[in-house]
Protein backbone atom coordinates (compact mmCIF):
# COMPACT_ATOMS: atom_id res chain seq x y z
CA UNK A 1 0.00 0.00 0.00
CA UNK A 2 1.28 3.45 -0.94
CA UNK A 3 -0.44 6.30 0.85
CA UNK A 4 -1.03 9.91 -0.19
CA UNK A 5 0.74 12.55 1.95
CA UNK A 6 -1.20 15.81 2.23
CA UNK A 7 0.80 18.80 3.51
CA UNK A 8 -0.88 21.96 2.18
CA UNK A 9 -4.42 23.22 2.45
CA UNK A 10 -5.38 19.60 1.77
CA UNK A 11 -4.48 18.88 5.39
CA UNK A 12 -8.06 20.04 6.03
CA UNK A 13 -10.08 16.81 6.37
CA UNK A 14 -13.16 18.43 4.78
CA UNK A 15 -11.17 19.49 1.74
CA UNK A 16 -9.71 16.00 1.32
CA UNK A 17 -13.19 14.48 1.69
CA UNK A 18 -14.23 16.55 -1.33
CA UNK A 19 -11.10 15.72 -3.29
CA UNK A 20 -11.16 11.99 -2.54
CA UNK A 21 -14.49 10.85 -1.07
CA UNK A 22 -13.53 7.15 -1.09
CA UNK A 23 -10.15 7.73 0.57
CA UNK A 24 -10.05 7.23 4.34
CA UNK A 25 -7.60 9.02 6.58
CA UNK A 26 -4.92 6.47 7.47
CA UNK A 27 -3.06 8.58 10.02
CA UNK A 28 -0.66 11.47 10.42
CA UNK A 29 3.09 11.68 10.37
CA UNK A 30 6.12 13.61 9.25
CA UNK A 31 8.22 13.85 6.12
CA UNK A 32 11.63 13.84 7.76
CA UNK A 33 14.34 15.56 5.72
CA UNK A 34 11.86 17.82 3.93
CA UNK A 35 10.97 21.49 4.41
CA UNK A 36 7.73 23.30 3.63
CA UNK A 37 8.44 26.27 1.41
CA UNK A 38 6.76 28.32 -1.28
CA UNK A 39 7.37 28.87 -4.95
CA UNK A 40 6.07 30.14 -8.23
CA UNK A 41 3.37 32.73 -8.37
CA UNK A 42 -0.33 32.05 -8.43
CA UNK A 43 -2.73 34.62 -9.78
CA UNK A 44 -5.75 33.10 -8.04
CA UNK A 45 -3.99 32.94 -4.64
CA UNK A 46 -2.14 36.26 -4.86
CA UNK A 47 1.27 34.80 -4.09
CA UNK A 48 3.54 31.79 -4.02
CA UNK A 49 2.19 28.26 -3.50
CA UNK A 50 3.16 25.61 -0.94
CA UNK A 51 5.64 22.92 -1.88
CA UNK A 52 8.29 20.80 -0.22
CA UNK A 53 12.03 20.58 -0.84
CA UNK A 54 14.65 18.29 0.62
CA UNK A 55 16.32 19.63 3.75
CA UNK A 56 18.04 17.24 6.14
CA UNK A 57 17.37 19.48 9.15
CA UNK A 58 13.60 19.92 8.70
CA UNK A 59 10.34 18.00 8.69
CA UNK A 60 6.84 18.56 7.34
CA UNK A 61 3.62 17.47 9.05
CA UNK A 62 1.38 15.33 6.81
CA UNK A 63 -1.97 13.61 6.84
CA UNK A 64 -1.79 10.20 5.19
CA UNK A 65 -4.71 8.93 3.12
CA UNK A 66 -5.37 5.55 1.58
CA UNK A 67 -6.33 6.77 -1.90
CA UNK A 68 -7.79 4.10 -4.19
CA UNK A 69 -7.16 4.28 -7.91
CA UNK A 70 -10.66 5.64 -8.53
CA UNK A 71 -9.79 8.82 -6.54
CA UNK A 72 -6.19 9.33 -7.72
CA UNK A 73 -6.91 11.38 -10.86
CA UNK A 74 -9.27 13.69 -8.97
CA UNK A 75 -6.62 14.27 -6.28
CA UNK A 76 -4.10 15.04 -9.05
CA UNK A 77 -6.49 17.52 -10.66
CA UNK A 78 -7.43 19.24 -7.40
CA UNK A 79 -3.77 19.51 -6.35
CA UNK A 80 -2.91 21.20 -9.64
CA UNK A 81 -1.04 18.29 -11.22
CA UNK A 82 -3.69 18.09 -13.91
CA UNK A 83 -2.78 21.63 -14.94
CA UNK A 84 0.99 21.18 -14.81
CA UNK A 85 1.45 23.17 -11.58
CA UNK A 86 2.47 20.17 -9.50
CA UNK A 87 3.98 16.77 -10.20
CA UNK A 88 3.93 13.53 -8.24
CA UNK A 89 6.80 12.48 -6.03
CA UNK A 90 7.42 9.34 -3.93
CA UNK A 91 8.46 10.01 -0.32
CA UNK A 92 8.84 8.16 3.00
CA UNK A 93 6.61 9.27 5.86
CA UNK A 94 7.41 8.59 9.51
CA UNK A 95 4.52 7.73 11.82
CA UNK A 96 4.43 7.17 15.54
CA UNK A 97 2.77 3.75 15.43
CA UNK A 98 3.82 2.30 12.07
CA UNK A 99 7.33 3.69 11.64
CA UNK A 100 8.22 4.54 8.04
CA UNK A 101 5.78 4.03 5.19
CA UNK A 102 5.85 4.77 1.47
CA UNK A 103 3.74 7.67 0.24
CA UNK A 104 3.21 9.86 -2.78
CA UNK A 105 2.62 13.57 -2.78
CA UNK A 106 2.74 16.56 -5.09
CA UNK A 107 5.57 19.07 -5.44
CA UNK A 108 5.44 22.37 -7.26
CA UNK A 109 6.91 22.16 -10.74
CA UNK A 110 8.36 25.67 -10.53
CA UNK A 111 11.11 27.60 -8.78
CA UNK A 112 11.39 27.98 -5.01
CA UNK A 113 10.91 31.52 -3.81
CA UNK A 114 8.27 34.16 -3.41
CA UNK A 115 5.86 34.90 -0.63
CA UNK A 116 2.45 33.34 -0.09
CA UNK A 117 -0.54 35.60 0.43
CA UNK A 118 -1.69 36.20 4.00
CA UNK A 119 -4.99 34.46 3.20
CA UNK A 120 -3.27 31.36 1.79
CA UNK A 121 -0.89 31.16 4.76
CA UNK A 122 -3.83 31.42 7.19
CA UNK A 123 -5.61 28.63 5.29
CA UNK A 124 -2.51 26.42 5.58
CA UNK A 125 -2.23 27.02 9.33
CA UNK A 126 -5.96 26.38 9.87
CA UNK A 127 -5.78 23.18 7.81
CA UNK A 128 -2.78 21.98 9.84
CA UNK A 129 -4.68 22.55 13.09
CA UNK A 130 -7.74 20.70 11.77
CA UNK A 131 -5.48 17.76 10.87
CA UNK A 132 -4.05 17.60 14.39
CA UNK A 133 -0.66 19.19 13.81
CA UNK A 134 1.16 20.28 16.96
CA UNK A 135 0.56 23.91 17.95
CA UNK A 136 4.19 24.84 17.25
CA UNK A 137 3.76 23.77 13.63
CA UNK A 138 0.65 25.91 12.99
CA UNK A 139 2.23 28.81 14.91
CA UNK A 140 5.32 28.59 12.71
CA UNK A 141 3.13 28.76 9.60
CA UNK A 142 1.33 31.84 10.91
CA UNK A 143 4.62 33.59 11.68
CA UNK A 144 6.06 33.25 8.18
CA UNK A 145 6.48 36.30 5.97
CA UNK A 146 3.66 36.86 3.51
CA UNK A 147 2.26 39.37 1.09
CA UNK A 148 -0.91 41.26 1.81
CA UNK A 149 -1.99 40.84 -1.81
CA UNK A 150 -5.56 39.69 -2.14
CA UNK A 151 -6.32 36.77 -4.44
pLDDT in tens, the chain (151 residues): 689 999 999 999 999 999 999 999 999 999 999 999 999 876 676 899 999 999 999 999 999 999 988 898 888 888 887 777 889 999 999 998 888 999 999 999 888 999 999 999 999 999 999 999 999 999 999 999 999 755 4
Would you say residue 128 lies in a domain? yes
Q: Which domain CATH number covers 91?
A: 3.10.490.10
Would you say residue 121 lies in a domain? yes
SS3 content of the chain, % helix, strand, coil (to 5): 30, 40, 30
Q: How far apart are CA 41 and CA 110, in angstroms?
A: 9
- pLDDT at 137 (0 to 100): 98
- pLDDT at 42 (0 to 100): 67
Q: Which range marks the domain in which residue 73 is found?
A: 3-136
Would you say residue 143 lies in a domain? no
Q: Please give the tally of structural domains in the chain.
A: 1
- pLDDT at 133 (0 to 100): 98
- pLDDT at 66 (0 to 100): 95
Q: Is 120 marked within a binding site?
A: yes
Q: How far apart are CA 16 and CA 10, in angstroms?
A: 6
Would you say residue 150 lies in a domain? no
Q: Are 8 and 109 in contact (CB under 8 A)?
A: no
- pLDDT at 106 (0 to 100): 94
Q: How far apart are CA 48 and CA 28, in angstroms?
A: 25
- pLDDT at 150 (0 to 100): 54
- pLDDT at 97 (0 to 100): 80
- pLDDT at 34 (0 to 100): 98
Would you say residue 57 lies in a domain? yes
- pLDDT at 108 (0 to 100): 92
- pLDDT at 40 (0 to 100): 86
Would you say residue 67 lies in a domain? yes
Amino acid sequence: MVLYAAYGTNLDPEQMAGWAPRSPLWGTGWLEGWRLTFGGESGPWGGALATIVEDGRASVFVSLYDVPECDESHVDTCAGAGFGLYRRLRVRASTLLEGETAAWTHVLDDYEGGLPSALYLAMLADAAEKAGAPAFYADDLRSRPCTSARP
